[in-house]
Amino acid sequence: MGSFVAQTFQAKVYVTLRPSVLDPAGTAVRSGVQQMGYQNVEQIRIGKYIEVTLQAADEAEAVQQIDQICDRILANPVIETYRFDLTPLSETATTTAH
Amino acid sequence: MGSFVAQTFQAKVYVTLRPSVLDPAGTAVRSGVQQMGYQNVEQIRIGKYIEVTLQAADEAEAVQQIDQICDRILANPVIETYRFDLTPLSETATTTAH
């Protein structure tokens, strides 16, 4: 009789352009904001915010997988950086009979 | 002699789709992630992360302005919700002689 406990985690991933990379979309939004009367807005930079829900045996496994997923799909490491927070959502106990 | 002290603030704005709104882009990314071998990924939802740097007299004014900018430009209140954190970056003292 083996027992496998899987936990559900949610990662909040923030993907931003590296500081040296120009952000034309952000500059365009800043112009729009300034034309609407908010002249005190100095800079706007636009990134991505991604919520990933996944199952993993423990937090270490979840961190490792999210890291791989960010590197391979969610971010382009050449021009972007990412960081994420991980929160446990619940615990699901799955018992497997042998 | 009048003195006006302006502070620089940075707002980190998170714009997400309302839970009832479908996210086809997120679903497509989840399929891609699963085909790459991460079958344990249950859900992916994609939002925007925006950094706004602005000058304001105090925190209350900055909060009010960011709130307006989010409502009018950064988010579409019909399908999206937003939240933001505000951090003071520095203090700039401007003295105006009369």
Residues of B in contact with A51 (CB under 8 A): 16, 43-45, 47
Residues of A in contact with B55 (CB under 8 A): 40, 42
Looking at CA atoms only, how far is residue A6 from chain B in angstroms?
10
Confidence of residue B95 (pLDDT cuts 50, 70, 90): very low
Tokens of A20: 């040296």
Confidence of residue A39 (pLDDT cuts 50, 70, 90): very high
Helix (H, G, I), strand (E, B), or coil: what is residue B82?
strand
CB-based contact (8 Å) between B4 and chain A?
no
Q: What is the pLDDT of residue A5?
A: 74
How buried is residue B6: exposed, middle or buried, by Cβ count under 10 Å (0-12/13-18/19+)?
middle
pLDDT digits (tens, 9 = 90+) for B11-54: 999 999 999 999 999 999 999 999 999 999 999 999 999 999 99
CATH of B5-86, one of 3.90.550.10, 3.30.1280.10, 3.40.50.720, 3.40.50.10800: 3.30.1280.10
Dist. CA B2–CA A29, nearest whole Å: 33
The partner residues of B97 in beta bridges, in order of sequence, read none
